[in-house]
Structure 1
Amino acid sequence: MLNYKHLHYFRTVAKAGSLARAAEKLHLTPQTLSGQISGFEARLGVALFRRSGRRLELTDAGRTALTYADEIFGIGAELEEALQTGPTARAHPFRVGIADVVPKTIAYQLLAPALTLAEPVKLVCREDRLAQLAAELSIHRLDMVLADRPLPSNMDIKGYSHPLGECGIAFLAARTVAASMHADFPASLAGAPLLIPGEDSALRVPLLRWLERKGVQPTIVGEFDDSALMSAFGQAGAGVFPVPLTTAKAVRRQYDVVEVGRTLEIRERFFAISVERRLSHPAVVAVSEAARLSLQPQDAD
């Protein structure tokens, strides 16, 4: 049987990043704590940590163990609260993986309806690369993955990709950058500083091909896996940046930027990936139905 005291020690070390800091929190000596962790690893038959200089880094097995540990102690805290405050309607966890290339505004727009269901839902979001999230989905660690592409066929993972919708692209920029560009879009992008999505984004290749077809050569000054980081650089005046047309209004308001042009020739698509061929999870169904309304074909913002 799992030793939960050892699991608690492991979790504390994983959060602290070093034996010394964890030992101080647990009121143990580093030597004692090191022995406890070694015994726990021996009991499990796997290494949970590797050394990186003075820090301890989690191995793949360690990251998996930490995910379970967080849930175990989270449920324990819920149990304690329920016993202290009396019976209440327990929110069922809805675990969603969000591919790191999916814009945060899109993720919120699609997931918000799940929080309005009659049966309470506790939304648990994890952000990572699609390959890692798909692996967790396959072992039912996630209920759904939001991505900008279908599940790649070369992944040895059983899953089904459900199209949520698509929209065109708006190009936004800080006011100072927009003021330096002429009004003839997309020719106005020629020579302009441009921020583009990273290699994991499904938008990257269509965007570059569209620029090539238009005969426009901007100056690419940055590539970003995280759309929020790209927007922050755009807000600071680093360059023009693309966003899904359906979220352009919200991004303009949030980052105080302006639109310099838009196109329907580039389509950004979004998918809900699940282990179900037919959607049945109430929260996943709510997300799918909401997407039909929020990702409108006319791309109005």
Structure 2
Amino acid sequence: MNYKHLHYFLQVAETGSVARASEQLHLTPQTVSGQIQLLEERLGSPLFARSGRRLVLTDTGRMVLDYAKDIFALGAELEASVRERTTHGRALDFRIGVADAVPKAIAYHLVEPAFAVENVHLVCREWKLDLLLAELALHKLDLVIADAPIPSSVSVRAFSHRLGSSTLSFFATPALRERHPGDFPACLDGAPVLMPGEDSAMGQRLRAWFQSQNVRPRLVGEFDDSALIQEFGRRSAGFFAAPGVIAPGIEAQFGVRSVGVAEGVEEDFFAISVERRITHPCVVAITQAARNELFQMARKPVRATAPRRRQAA
């Protein structure tokens, strides 16, 4: 098969027009049409049908398009792998995006293994997931760390690699816990709670969990940035949830205590890349450390705590 013909086919399929494809390819429309015709003859089946002024894919054309995207994606991986092997003596740039819904402590533990790669230069961006995926599609990022796989509504040719999951624990300052005593999760009923944004995967799961527990907390704030939730939480503004795998660090940093575990609710984390098979050395380091270390930590249940009762003088 002539892969140049396949490249011309891909351009026509994506633009829906031989004229527009020929402009992008800097070729005449007659040349592009002729190459598409040769490909159809090679495959023995028409790839396009006309619908008004546009060309639409036939069933065979849609199948060929899927294969073509995979072929050229693998070609891009090959070029990236070769470039990585030629960076000896120079800093290896690693451009990573972190979705703003990912807790900062989790982001650190996930990204930190990349520094073990010799002579790496890390560039880290934090943004909303859809914007990061757009940057990934343009090859401006090598990896995106997120709390959800690629949304079905986002048309990006990339792959979601699951890193692991963590139980979700609720935290509160001792002073706030003292004002809302009782067993968990009943102590949250009517209590001030700080929540992830309504559009986030974790925000939706927590709302469903509250309903299942017949608990109606008082929502006092919604945040896209998990660091802001924890900062308000340390000042007794409300109870807040965070991954249980980093509970000791949260307690030490923010002066809060674990209240209990939201049974049945877990937060998932993903590495999203344009690679189907992970080859970038930094991405390999991140995925291996996450799966073999961070999310393999013994998950001891966080015991629900009640505030200590003051003894009578």
TM-score by length of 2: 0.66
Q: 1:264 to 1:122 in 2, by over 3 A?
A: farther
Residues 223-254 of structure 1: CA deviation (Å, up to 9, x unaligned): 00000001000001100000011111111111
Structure 1 unaligned segments of length 5 or more: list them: 1-87
Mapped to 1, the partners of 2:299 and 2:137 lie a distance apart of 33
- Given that 2:165 and 2:267 are in contact with CA atoms closer than 8 Å, whether structure 1 keeps it comes out as yes
Mapped to 1, the partners of 2:212 and 2:298 lie a distance apart of 23
- 1:74 is aligned to none
1:109 aligns with 2:132: no
CA shift for structure 1 position 90? 3.0
Mapped to 2, the partners of 1:160 and 1:225 lie a distance apart of 24
Any runs of at least 4 consecutive aligned residues in structure 1 with deviations exceeding 4 A, and if so which?
none
Mapped to 2, the partners of 1:198 and 1:120 lie a distance apart of 38
One-letter code of the match for 1:98?
V
CA shift for structure 1 position 144? 0.2
Q: Please say which structure displays the higher CA radius of gyration.
A: 2
- 1:98 is aligned to 98
TM-score by length of 1: 0.68
Helix, strand or coil at the partner of 2:151: coil
Paired residues for 1:6-155 under 5 Å? 89-117=89-117, 119-155=118-154
One-letter code of the match for 1:112?
E
Mapped to 1, the partners of 2:167 and 2:191 lie a distance apart of 21
Paired residues for 1:117-266 under 5 Å? 117=117, 119-266=118-265
- Given that 1:167 and 1:244 are in contact with CA atoms closer than 8 Å, whether structure 2 keeps it comes out as yes
Mapped to 1, the partners of 2:288 and 2:182 lie a distance apart of 38
1:299 aligns with 2:306: no
Residues 103-152 of structure 1: CA deviation (Å, up to 9, x unaligned): 000000001111012x2211111000011100000111000000000011
Mapped to 2, the partners of 1:105 and 1:297 lie a distance apart of 15
Helix, strand or coil at the partner of 1:280: coil
Mapped to 2, the partners of 1:224 and 1:161 lie a distance apart of 25
Q: 1:139 to 1:283 in 2, by over 3 A?
A: same
One-letter code of the match for 1:274?
S
Mapped to 1, the partners of 2:247 and 2:89 lie a distance apart of 37
CA shift for structure 1 position 299? 2.7
Percent identity, aligned pairs only, is 47
- Given that 1:101 and 1:200 are in contact with CA atoms closer than 8 Å, whether structure 2 keeps it comes out as no
Structure 2 unaligned segments of length 5 or more: list them: 1-87, 303-313
CA shift for structure 1 position 261? 1.0
- 2:274 is aligned to 275
- Given that 1:167 and 1:297 are in contact with CA atoms closer than 8 Å, whether structure 2 keeps it comes out as no
Residues 146-194 of structure 1: CA deviation (Å, up to 9, x unaligned): 0000011221110000000001101011121011222311111111110
Mapped to 2, the partners of 1:162 and 1:199 lie a distance apart of 25
Helix, strand or coil at the partner of 2:249: helix
Taking only aligned residues, the RMSD between alpha carbons, in angstroms, comes to 1.5
- 1:81 is aligned to none
- Given that 1:166 and 1:297 are in contact with CA atoms closer than 8 Å, whether structure 2 keeps it comes out as no
- Given that 2:104 and 2:227 are in contact with CA atoms closer than 8 Å, whether structure 1 keeps it comes out as yes
Mapped to 2, the partners of 1:91 and 1:104 lie a distance apart of 25
- 1:24 is aligned to none
Q: 1:164 to 1:250 in 2, by over 3 A?
A: same
